[in-house]
Structure 1
Amino acid sequence: MPHIPTDTTILSLLAKHTKHPTFLFEVASKRLAFINQAFEKAFNMTTGTEVSPEELQQVVHPEDREYVREAYKRLLEEKDGKEVEFRAQLPGQQVRWFCLTPYMAGDADGKVFVVGSVEDITASRQYNDYLKKYSAKKNSILHLLAHDLAGPLGLIGSLSEVLAEETRQYRSTELNKLVELIASTSAHSVAMIKDLTNHEFLETTGVDLIKRRVNMVEKFKEVIEQYRKSEGEIRKTFVFEPSSDTIFAALDDAKFMQAINNLISNAIKFTYPGGIISVRLQERAQSVLVEVEDNGVGIPEKFYDILFDKFTNARRPGLNGEPSTGLGMSIIKMIVEWHSGEIWFKSEEGKGTTFYIEVPKE
């Protein structure tokens, strides 16, 4: 545990020149031994104030208090602090997001302190949420386009082959060129759709994992609502069932939701018109369970053991001829494992498939 001076002169000098709220909390006496002006202004407290952890938590949003309480307990037990993101409800202000960076320290007299700084990350979270919201919408739309266009374009390509056979008897060079143009254009369009969706999904694996505390219910709603807007066109019903209104977990939400998007896209490809695709979120004590269920064609048993492998025989075109990269399930598994999670499935041919993902909250 680091050593700190018994007086706060050095701390005062350092803290004076930082815009972030900075504090020194004495664990035994439960008092704020030092706070800078930024802390006073942000939380309406003064140096020397005797305050218990419970009182400090009064400024924390009610839904985040248990999370912050557990983080404080871990800090005291492990002596090694981790960044803690939480919401604060300050009098007369809107809810704001803060990132607390704490660590343990001791002085020459054996006193133990929690030293840390707090950063207001409201603006950066709102900006990131805005970008990721529309990124999730974009990915949903791409999957829908792949489903809606790849099938008909593939059918046009097949019909053009029949048309070529039927028109060959007329020995018309001009007519043959037109039929060939239809065939090549449809094939090129299918390839373009395939390349676009592949690129978006594969791009996910080329970026570092950056986890943050997010409300999974909110993120899933954004994705499901996008699919629901196209229920009429794709002739399937989407159901979303969270166990509560807010379920928080530490995720790289951009990558994780890309994996969920891909699971939903697979469900669309292998479910007949009129089918139901259900997505569920269940909060557990230390983890969150995600279920993506369809009542489609199911997965043949011979593919069970190789489903998550790369470029296997388990890759199949969708019911409308939608293409498969042979990489989708392996990348989904990789993203889940990056989050220290697990993925598995249950399936029965002719009845449907359910994929399960369990990820830790922390």
Structure 2
Amino acid sequence: MLNPVPFFHDFVENIHQVFFVYDPATNQVTFVNAAYERLLGGNRARVNEELPQLIDRLHPDDRPYLANCWRRWQRGRLEEKEIEFRLLAPDGTEQWLQLKPHHQQTGTEQHLLGGFLDVITGQKEYMANVDKFNAKKNATLEILSHDLAGPFIMLQQLAEYMGEQVGSLRNENLNEMIRIMQTTCKESVDLIRDFVDQEFLDSANVELKLERVDMVERMQQMMESYKQSESVVAKNFTLIAPQEPVYVNLDVNKFMQVLNNLVSNALKFTPDGGHITLTIAQEPSTVRFTVADDGIGIPQAQQAGLFDRFTKARRPGLRGEKTTGLGMSIIKTIVGLHRGRIWFESEEGKGSTFYIDLPLNMASQSNGQQA
């Protein structure tokens, strides 16, 4: 039987990722492959001497997160399959790294840590642009649906009025043209709303892809699109957020669609000139998001079943915007998948406020430790 050791040694030395083994008992890296020199610019023979310098280059925002991961990793309780973090170059540029960690118990009290480390700066920049485009696209769709639906609803109402006025003429051709106008307007409004609703439904049916995200930055990007449209949709938008980043472990595309859908509902039920405010605030172990409006509010009789699937609380917007009754149910499902909770306060004639609490670190929460 052939000895597989030379094969594995050759494989490890020639892969493009950094592969390493660390012994916590001696605080020493016992092995690192040649990729360490190619990707991180170090000298593998001096890796233990260079390790403090690498630690000094960790991005300040990532240090508390990595310290938490390190504590759980040493105990064999690390749930994350991938850990992403940043190193700072002397010129201040960021280098994104992805670690795939492994914990090996070698005895009753002995264990080794190791894994693969790869540079993913290009991938992160690409995905950041994709996420920014998606956020802008979703906000634009909501703005367009709100802006386009209004004229169609007005034409539909005008056609209904014309139909009442010309009914006495008994002109079948004229009545048929008015009926076509009414039907076309209604179908156009439904088509616009169906398209936006389907975007949300499609997103909800895909498995969560969790990553650590600065939600202040993402909400700022989303609100830019809405603020640019204030004169178009006749609403005032405000974002209340801390100056420093707020990092949360979540599926950023799905959760941004949750916020976007809540803003969409606020648009439907807030009269022209009204206000819609988004807030993000960090608590000791959670992050709270709120979407508030000063619109018509939710009738008391409809509040109990608001999050039910095909809820009876569904109702058309102030401009007749269509609703499937599925939106709030899907929102609650996505929040639940993030181990969060959602609730609301509303008073008829005074507006509504929706609250979402998410854990700062889902993996830490699941095994009883705070981030």
TM-score of the superposed pair, with normalisation by structure 2: 0.89
In structure 2, the partner of 1:34 is: 31
Tell me how far apart the structure 2 counterparts of residues 28 and 65 of structure 1 sit (CA, whole Å). Answer: 22
In structure 1, the partner of 2:364 is: none
- Code of the aligned partner of 1:34: F
Count of matched residue positions in the alignment of Structure 1 and Structure 2: 355
In structure 2, the partner of 1:75 is: 73
Aligned alpha-carbon RMSD (Å)? 2.3
Tell me how far apart the structure 2 counterparts of residues 115 and 25 of structure 1 sit (CA, whole Å). Answer: 6
Indicate if the aligned counterparts of 2:39 and 2:119 stay in contact, CA closer than 8 A.
no
Tell me how far apart the structure 2 counterparts of residues 45 and 288 of structure 1 sit (CA, whole Å). Answer: 41
In structure 1, the partner of 2:366 is: none
Question: Could you report, residue by residue, the CA deviation over 1:279-323 in whole angstroms, capped at 9, with x for unpaired residues?
Answer: 111112222110111111111111221010011221111112111
Q: Report the CA distance between 1:342 and its aligned residue.
A: 0.5
Where 2:75 maps in the other structure, the secondary structure is: helix
Does residue 355 of the first structure (1) align with residue 350 of the second (2)?
no
Task: Tell me: CA distance 1:59–1:22, structure 2 relative to 1, closer, same or farther (3 Å).
Answer: farther
Structure 1 spans left out of the alignment, 5+ residues: 1-7
In structure 2, the partner of 1:196 is: 195
In structure 2, the partner of 1:299 is: 298
Does residue 57 of the first structure (1) align with residue 62 of the second (2)?
no
Indicate if the aligned counterparts of 2:69 and 2:78 stay in contact, CA closer than 8 A.
no
In structure 2, the partner of 1:180 is: 179
Where 2:304 maps in the other structure, the secondary structure is: helix
Q: Which moves more between the two structures, 291-300 or 105-114? A: 105-114
Matches within 5 A, 1:83-122: 83-92=82-91, 94-107=93-106, 111-122=110-121
- Code of the aligned partner of 2:35: A
- Code of the aligned partner of 1:21: V
Q: Which moves more between the two structures, 321-330 or 236-245? A: 236-245
Q: Which moves more between the two structures, 143-152 or 58-67? A: 143-152
Matches within 5 A, 1:326-337: 326-337=325-336
Matches within 5 A, 1:195-344: 195-344=194-343
Q: Percent identity?
A: 37
Tell me how far apart the structure 1 counterparts of residues 228 and 134 of structure 2 sit (CA, whole Å). Answer: 17
Structure 2 spans left out of the alignment, 5+ residues: 362-371
Where 1:78 maps in the other structure, the secondary structure is: coil
TM-score of the superposed pair, with normalisation by structure 1: 0.91
Q: Which moves more between the two structures, 169-178 or 201-210? A: 169-178
Task: Tell me: CA distance 1:92–1:40, structure 2 relative to 1, closer, same or farther (3 Å).
Answer: farther
Task: Tell me: CA distance 1:291–1:227, structure 2 relative to 1, closer, same or farther (3 Å).
Answer: same
Q: Report the CA distance between 1:32 and its aligned residue.
A: 1.6
Does residue 17 of the first structure (1) align with residue 14 of the second (2)?
yes
Indicate if the aligned counterparts of 2:342 and 2:355 stay in contact, CA closer than 8 A.
yes
Indicate if the aligned counterparts of 1:81 and 1:102 stay in contact, CA closer than 8 A.
no
